Amino acid sequence: MSREAIGGSVWTRRGLAAMGVFGLVFLTVPLVIVIPMSFSSARALTFPPPSLSLRWYETFFGDPRWMEAMWTSTFVAAISSLAALVLGGLAAYGLRRGTFKGRDWAEGNFMAPLIVPTIIVAIALYLALAKVGLLGSLLGLVVAHTLLNVPLVMMVLGVAIREFDQRIEQVAWSLGASWSYAMRKVVLPNLAPSVFAAWIFAFIGSFDEVIVTSFIAGKYETVPKKMFNELVLEVNPTITAVATLLIAFTVLALAAVAFVLGRAGKLKETVV
């Protein structure tokens, strides 16, 4: 009904549809174009590719520096996403269920890395890590990635915990379950789909992080850092293959999240 109420004439509606489609095209076309370009045989980025080949993928997988960057990225993302999941998950639970004073303040502080420009976090960490001699250390990198991804975890799990009926936990306690038993057997199984989503988001967040990493990683190369450094210098078609792999990785990860949340009937709340 509303479509008719404010849609106006056929032309207005067609105009709106054209603008909407334009918006979606503007968002997605660059990503769609990158994929065929990564199979180009040419060095120049000419569209359409003159002929197809896998040479840029061979260059990528055959380069030990890219492989090492891939390993570092995976390692840092694995550790920091788990740390963010555990610390952020516990904190989200404490903030939703707790009654202590200063909860708003604490939550604001935990969410701050999302609002404070990343370049400022990068500079502050650079200066502080240089001061304590941890600049260019894996520890510094993992800790930085952890705190950058805590807000994502807290957003996803905060909603899930708020929607999980607290009385179910209280029943478990009243039946004599210890706190940790109730957590393992009642709370976590119910939150499992959201926990999975939060973990994937934190993993992607860490795997793609470029600004803080470029400032504090020192001699360590991650995939985004290496990609960024190469892009600033010159456009190398190997990047097109890396970009395609990253798009494929993101699509698969999000599809897994959508599948798990969809099966639990929680897709809507988490997305919008």
Tell which positions 164-193 bind other proteins, by CB under 8 A: 173, 179
Position 109 contacts other proteins (CB under 8 A): yes
Choice between 95 and 198, CB closer to other proteins: 95
Q: What is the 3-state secondary structure (H, E, C) of the chain?
A: CHHHHHHCCHHHHHHHHHHHHHHHHHHHHHHHHHHHHHCECCCCCCCCCCCECCHHHHHHHHCHHHHHHHHHHHHHHHHHHHHHHHHHHHHHHHHHHCCCCCHHHHHHHHHHHHHCCHHHHHHHHHHHHHHHCCCCCHHHHHHHHHHHHHHHHHHHHHHHHHHCCHHHHHHHHHCCCCHHHHHHHHHHHHHHHHHHHHHHHHHHHHHHCCHHHHHHCCCCCCHHHHHHHHHHHCCCCHHHHHHHHHHHHHHHHHHHHHHHHHHCCCHHHHHC
Provide the minimum distance between the beta carbon of 30 and other proteins in the complex, in angstroms, as a whole number.
Answer: 3
Beta bridge partners, 24, equal none
Q: Which is nearer to other proteins, 33 or 171 (CB)?
A: 33
Q: Tell me, residue by residue from 43 to 72, as one string, x for binding to other proteins by CB under 8 A and - for no binding.
A: -xxxx-------------------------
Q: Report if residue 19 touches other proteins, rule: CB under 8 A.
A: yes
State the minimum distance, in angstroms, from the CB of residue 201 to other proteins: 8
| Window 27 to 46, contacts with other proteins (CB under 8 A) | 27-31, 33-34, 37, 44-46
Considering only the stretches 58-66, 74-82, 190-198, 210-218, report the one whose residues sit in contact with other proteins under the rule CB under 8 A: 210-218
Binding residue for other proteins (CB under 8 A) from 69, 76, 141, 150? 150
Query: How far is it, in rounded angstroms, from Cα 156 to Cα 151?
Result: 9
Q: Is 210 near other proteins (CB under 8 A)?
A: yes
247: contact with other proteins by CB under 8 A: yes
If binding means CB under 8 A, how many residues of this protein chain bind other proteins? 94
Tell the smallest beta-carbon distance from residue 192 to other proteins (Å).
19
Establish if 146 lies at the interface with other proteins (CB under 8 A).
yes
If we measure between CA atoms, which residue out of 168, 154, 166 comes closest to residue 197?
154
In whole angstroms, the minimum distance from the beta carbon of 48 to other proteins comes to 8
**Is 250 near other proteins (CB under 8 A)?**
yes
Minimum CB separation from other proteins for residue 56, in Å?
Answer: 12
252 is a contact residue toward other proteins (CB under 8 A): no
Check residue 124 for interaction with other proteins (CB under 8 A).
yes
Consecutive H or E run containing 262: helix 238-263
Q: 82 to 101, contacts with other proteins by CB under 8 A?
A: 87-88, 90-91, 93-95, 97-100
